[in-house]
Structure 1
Amino acid sequence: MTMRDIGRAIETNGWRQGSLLCEEDGQALAAELGCEDVATAVAVVVSQSCDLTQADIAAEPYAEVIVGHWSHTRSGDLLYGKHPRRLHLPVQGHEGEETISLLPWQRLRCPRERLAEWEPDPERYLLRADLQVLTTWLAQRYVRGALPNTFNDLLTRKRKTWEKLRKRLSGHVSGLFVELSPSGELGEGDHYSVNLLALVPVAQKETLEEAQETVRRLGDLMRELGMDVQASARCEDEVSYAVVRRMTRFPLEYLSLRGDPMHPMPEEFESRPPSNPPGSDP
C-alpha cells in the first residue's frame, strides 16, 4: 500500500475526528499507554478529519487519540469542559447514552497506517455538540486565561461562601466567565470592575432562573469585597461569541489560588450520581 493509498483507505474506512475505536483496538492502545484498567478503556480520535486523511504520511505520520474509561456515574461538575483536568463525555450507542471519563494527558500518537487497517466502532458515536466540547476542553489546556493574584487573594476572604455558591451554580451552567478592569494586578487605591457571566445550555433552560439567582449572589459577594460588579446568567444562544471571546473562563471546579494542590476534583463530587440518566439529552 502506497502512502497515498493509506490516506484514501482511512477515509474509506470512515475515520473522522471524534470516531471511537472498536473495543479491542481501544484496549490495545490503552495497554500501550500503560493504563491500569484496560478492560474499561475506550479510545477517541481527536485529530482533525483532514489530518487523518492527508495523503502525505510524512506530513501527518500520526493520529492523536485520547484514551478514557467507561464511567457508571456522571457529574454535572465534569460536563461541558468545566473542569480542566477531567471530563465526563456522553457517548451515543445502540444501548442508549453512556459516559466516558477522560483525563487530558492520557493521549498517544497512533501511526496512521493502523487506521488504514482498522474501522471505527460502528455502534457508538459522539454528537457534534459533544465533540466540540471535547476539542474545546483539550484546547483550553493551552489557552485558558489566568486571573490576577490580587483578584484571587480578595476572593480568599470569602472563600467558604464563594465555594458554597460555586457548587450550587456548577451543575446548571456550561461555563462561568469574567472580565476584569483593570485586567492585571491592582495598584494602591485601585479596585476591580467585574463583568460576571454564567452560560446555561439551551437543553437546561429551565434552570436559568436558579442560575441567575446564584450569580446575583456571587456578584453581591464581590461587592462586599469592594468591587464594582455586573453579574448575569443567560442561555448560550443569547450570547455572541464576540462577548465570550473577550472574557476569561472562571474555574468552576474549585477556586484556583496560589499554593492550592492540583487535585483532580473535591471528593464530594466523585460519588455524585449521573446528572442525566442514559437515554436523556445531555
Structure 2
Amino acid sequence: MADTDRKFSWRQGDALPDEAAKALNLQHPENPGATVVVVISHDCDLTAVAEKEPESEIIVGRRIDKLGGDSYGKTARRLHIEYQTAEGPVALELMATCKRPIGKPVLFETDPRRDMWLDGRGAVILQRWLAARYHRAAFPEAFEDRLRAAHISGKRILLKKLENILAVGGDHIRGLLFDLDDGKDVERDSPEDLYQLGIMVLYDSLRDEPTAAAAATKAAEELEKLFDAAFHSHDTGWQNICLKYCDPISDSAITVAEREMLKQWRLEHMSVQDDPPQPMITD
C-alpha cells in the first residue's frame, strides 16, 4: 500500500502493530510485554500534508486486567478504556505523561492493527479525555483546601476515601458532578462560612443499567456518610462544607441545562493554581 493510502487508513485511537512498536522502541516502561501504542492525533491532523503537520502524537499505553476508577475520563492524567477484539473487550491504561511525537513518514510505513479497535463510544471517551487536560473545572482554592484538610478519625483521608468509593464502581460510574454554591466562585474564610455542595453520581445507562444504578446508589450513600463524618457534628452542625444532597443519576436522564450548570470533580483534585495556565476550550 502506498504511503498516501496509508495516511488515510489511520484514525484517532488506532493502535500500532506490536512489531512496529518494538521496532520503534516504543515500550511501556513498567510492563513492556503489555505495551499498546495508541495514536491520539485528530483525524484531520493525520491526513494533513506533512509539510504543515510533520508529526503525529501517540501514547505508549499498556493492557490492564480490568477498568478501574479512571474509566470514562474521570482523571485527566490517566484513562482506563476498553478496546474491542474478536475475543471480547480488552482494558487499556493510557497516561497523559506518556505522550510522544512520531514522524508521519515513520507512522505511515505501517498500517493500524485490525485485531484491536475502538468502537464509536470508546472514540468519544478518548476524545473527551484528551480535551479534559485543557478543560478541567476549577474550584475555589478555599473549597479544595477544606477537602484536603478534612479530618476523619484524626486523619486527613477524605480524598483517599472519596477515590476508593469511585474505584469500587469504576466501570459503571461516569463521574461526580458538583453543584457548588449555585455556580458562584467564592473564596470563603471561616468554618462557619459554609460552602453549599450538591453531588450527582452520574452512571452509565448503556452498560448493565440495573447494576450501574445500584453501584451509583451505593456510592451516593457512602459519600453522604463520608461528608457527614468529615464536616458535620452533633455539637456544631455543618462546618466548612455542607452537603445538601448526593443523588445517583443516569446519563440518559440528566438534561443539557443541568450538565452545563454542574462541574465535574476529577480524581486528581487539582485547581488552576496547581498547574500553569492552560488554554481552555469552550464547548
Residues 68 and 163 (structure 1), Cα distance of their counterparts in 2 relative to 1, 3 Å cut: closer
- Are the counterparts in 2 of residues 27 and 42 from structure 1 also a CA contact under 8 Å? no
1:213 to 210, 221, 224: 221
- Are the counterparts in 2 of residues 91 and 127 from structure 1 also a CA contact under 8 Å? yes
- Are the counterparts in 2 of residues 19 and 126 from structure 1 also a CA contact under 8 Å? yes
Residues 184 and 27 (structure 1), Cα distance of their counterparts in 2 relative to 1, 3 Å cut: farther
* Greater mean deviation of Cα atoms: 113-122 or 33-42: 33-42
Aligned match of 1:273? none
Bigger share in helix? 1
Residues 164 and 115 (structure 1), Cα distance of their counterparts in 2 relative to 1, 3 Å cut: closer
Deviations 1:144-188 (A, max 9, x none): 123222212333234445643552344322111213224131156
Distance 1:39 1:166 in 2: 29
Work out whether 1:234 is the aligned partner of 2:227. no
Give the alignment's TM-score, normalised by structure 1: 0.75
1:60 to 53, 76, 79: 53
Distance 1:162 1:43 in 2: 32
For 1:29-178, what aligned pairs fall within 5 Å after superposition? 29=24, 31=25, 35=29, 37-54=31-48, 56-71=49-64, 73-155=65-147, 156-158=149-151, 159-160=156-157, 163-164=160-161, 166-172=163-169, 173-178=173-178
Distance 2:23 2:260 in 1: 39
Distance 2:15 2:51 in 1: 24
Distance 2:188 2:17 in 1: 53
Distance 1:160 1:219 in 2: 11
Aligned match of 1:192? 195
- Are the counterparts in 1 of residues 142 and 189 from structure 2 also a CA contact under 8 Å? no
- Are the counterparts in 1 of residues 142 and 187 from structure 2 also a CA contact under 8 Å? yes
Distance 2:257 2:123 in 1: 21
Residues 165 and 33 (structure 1), Cα distance of their counterparts in 2 relative to 1, 3 Å cut: closer
Distance 1:165 1:65 in 2: 31
- Are the counterparts in 2 of residues 26 and 67 from structure 1 also a CA contact under 8 Å? no
- Secondary structure at the aligned position of 1:142 is classed as coil
Root-mean-square deviation over aligned CA pairs: 3.2
- Are the counterparts in 2 of residues 154 and 225 from structure 1 also a CA contact under 8 Å? no
Work out whether 1:251 is the aligned partner of 2:266. yes
- Secondary structure at the aligned position of 1:105 is classed as helix
What is the number of residues matched between the two proteins?
Answer: 251
Residues 165 and 64 (structure 1), Cα distance of their counterparts in 2 relative to 1, 3 Å cut: closer
Give the alignment's TM-score, normalised by structure 2: 0.75
* Greater mean deviation of Cα atoms: 203-212 or 218-227: 218-227
Residues 24 and 212 (structure 1), Cα distance of their counterparts in 2 relative to 1, 3 Å cut: same
Residues 238 and 220 (structure 1), Cα distance of their counterparts in 2 relative to 1, 3 Å cut: farther
Aligned match of 1:19? 14
- Are the counterparts in 2 of residues 169 and 215 from structure 1 also a CA contact under 8 Å? no
Deviations 1:183-215 (A, max 9, x none): 131156743222322101112234343234234
Structure 1 runs (4+) deviating above 6 angstroms are none
Distance 2:83 2:145 in 1: 39
Deviations 1:215-236 (A, max 9, x none): 4445645563253623322011
* Greater mean deviation of Cα atoms: 230-239 or 144-153: 144-153
Residues 8 and 210 (structure 1), Cα distance of their counterparts in 2 relative to 1, 3 Å cut: same
Aligned match of 1:183? 185
